[in-house]
A = this chain, B = another copy of it.
């Protein structure tokens, strides 16, 4: 194999890793961190996969995207995998976070006080509510939404978390983008429009609940119609892909009235 620079190597590999595998690598990373903390220095694919709730073949394939860091007949060194996954996931650099919408959810996120460990420190909070501006939440004073572009660019925020009602989400998003934010985690039930260089992920509680509802209904229905019906075998461990979705909820928060975090739900 020809020599390649570290950056090139990372780039080439990273481009080929399937989306689904990336999500799982993050899972493995957490388990590995736990193992490292309790002094374990080596694992087999069997052990790791069991802890992650996937089968061992999938785990090995996932790890192979990083390169060949295992030892055949032996297993993997925990520390090596941790480093390699961190490298691929881009966790070697800091990602400063801003939370917008200091309502129910936003408050929880802000209070969490900068995500523990190295990685994603919360460095800015925003809301519309005049009563909240300047008030420290989780040790950080809340700024006004109008200042999003300036503050984000000043503090070099790269990640924005949107926890506003759906109606405000797009405008907040635009301001985050104007402030130079590169990725957005969106809790509002809206499909955001962003330029190509910005990455968005959506988390939607309502959809999660509705998916659960579907599975229960499916079971109930098949039991009802078939009389006995075949039981589907135990869950695969990994609930797998979390859905993503959309709503059109009423705001009606309580905690931080003004720009409360949606957690949007609506049925009907």
Contacts and interface: CB of A to CB of B under 8 A. Distances in A.
A194 interface: yes
Contacts of A93: 217
Contacts of A200: 235, 239
Interface stretch (A68-76, A123-131, A141-149, A203-211): A203-211
A120 B264 CA distance: 12
B31 A246 contact: yes
B215 A199 contact: yes
A158 interface: yes
B222 A115 contact: no
Contacts of A136: none
Contact of A266 (B53, B108, B116, B243): B116
A99 to B, nearest CB: 12
Copies in the complex: 2
Contacts of A199: 212, 215-216, 235
A89 to B, nearest CB: 5
B222 A15 contact: yes
A30 B246 contact: yes
A118 B29 contact: no
A22 B115 contact: no
Contact of A23 (B201, B245, B253): B245
Contacts of A88: 214, 217
A44 to B, nearest CB: 17
Contacts of A95: 209, 212-213, 216
11 contacts: A7-B225, A26-B206, A27-B244, A29-B210, A31-B246, A31-B248, A115-B206, A119-B209, A183-B213, A198-B235, A201-B242
Closest 9 CB pairs of A and B: A90-B217, A23-B243, A34-B248, A242-B242, A30-B247, A11-B221, A241-B241, A183-B212, A27-B245
